[in-house]
Amino acid sequence: MAEKLLLRALAGETLQTPPAWMMRQAGRYLPEYKATRAQAGDFLSLCYNPDLAAEVTLQPIRRFGFDAAIMFADILLIPQALGADLWFVTGEGPRLSTITSQADFDLLKPADPDVVHEHLAPIYETLRILSRELPDDVTLIGFAGAPWTVATYMIAGRGTPDQGPAHALKNGNRPLFEALLERITEATIEYLSAQIDAGAEVVKLFDSWAGSLKGDEFRRYALEPTKRIITELKARHPNTPVIAFPRQAGEAYIGFARETGADCVAIDNSVDADWAAANVQIDGCVQGNLAPSHLVTGGQALVDEVRRIKAAFSGGPHIFNLGHGITPDANPDNVTLMLETLRS
């Protein structure tokens, strides 16, 4: 384990060449992923088939030699475990039954460990398979959605451009909104803890819509739930690092690791790497933050930006990654170029 570059960076070590992986590295930009998904039949069937989920997790490791593999799953499996209806519309994304009233909330299951673990048992089996099959130098990452982001989907029933339905419920029925956030938080603690028991060496919290919370609401509904989850995970698994990703937090990235206990803060590509090095990396490891568009366009601009980001974070612990997930139109050859540039 001491040889795993990602774990060394998360422990605070400054490495000449940072470890690298990509959000959504197992995904639609790879032809082998498309073939495996077709074999599974649909997206959710792929998530809940441990053999096939492990296979798509391993595909980018075989092709590119990343330093970490993130298990293949989806952040909306937690709502489904709690009793929400979940389905995916081809070309449009996820759909859920909505939580907009007390009656809707009362239909949810409790965040009981047995409830969570029974539904999500295939995910833990995926991790056990990966623990056996990954190369010895590759770190295994588990993950969950942060409570605010998961709540936005449960309230709206889908992704929205401004998280308007979640803000409306928050402003119009604060007790119900906070009860939902509490239920998600409790379930997430149990889910991530079980992932670690199943073999995850690192876990990551994706708060993809954190940036739409401002001021005190960012603290109450993004920072505080993250802190609570990390505190509980550290009590149960003190040696397991946690990466937090409060996407588009802007100035609120400053101090986020220190206040939540996260071992690393992932930053999106809306903030400059030099700014993040001066203001965020001073508290420890930073992950990021190449714009995913560079893996579509490639060329010298990609090479220059990889070098710039590497140089900006060279004074402290850094995990090279994108500022958001790789897009379906990315060229796999550009991923190769990215890694060759980083490691040259």
Burial of 117 (0-12, 13-18, 19+ CB in 10 A): middle
Q: Are 155 and 166 in contact (CB under 8 A)?
A: yes
Residue-wise pLDDT for 228-248, tens only, equals: 999 999 999 999 999 999 999
Name the pLDDT band for 147 (thresholds 50, 70, 90). Answer: very high
Q: What is the mean pLDDT of residues 305-327?
A: 98
Q: How far apart are CA 265 and CA 288, in angstroms?
A: 9
Give me the count of residues in the chain.
344
pLDDT at residue 289 tops 60 = yes
Look at residue 90 in the predicted model and tell me its pLDDT: 82
Q: Are 230 and 262 in contact (CB under 8 A)?
A: yes
Architecture of domain 20-277: Alpha-Beta Barrel (3.20)
Q: How far apart are CA 170 and CA 101, in angstroms?
A: 12
Q: What is the mean pLDDT of residues 280-292?
A: 98
Active site residue 24: yes
Percent of the chain with pLDDT over 70: 99
Look at residue 2 in the predicted model and tell me its pLDDT: 54
Query: What would the two tokens of residue 138 be?
Result: 């590759």
Percent of the chain with pLDDT over 90: 98
**Residue (of 132, 227, 240, 154) closest to 195 by Cα position:** 240
The active-site residue out of 29, 33, 37, 228 is 37
Active site residue 28: yes
- Distance between start and end Cα atoms, the chain: 24
The active-site residue out of 24, 183, 228, 247 is 24
Is the C-alpha dihedral spanning 229, 226, 48, 27 positive or negative? Answer: negative
Q: What is the mean pLDDT of residues 26-43?
A: 97
Burial of 273 (0-12, 13-18, 19+ CB in 10 A): buried
The active-site residue out of 124, 153, 191, 253 is 153
pLDDT at residue 1 tops 70 = no
332: how many CB neighbours lie within 10 A of its CB?
16
pLDDT at residue 156 tops 60 = yes
Look at residue 3 in the predicted model and tell me its pLDDT: 83
- What is the CA angle 92-71-1, rounded to 5? 155
The active-site residue out of 63, 74, 137, 272 is 74
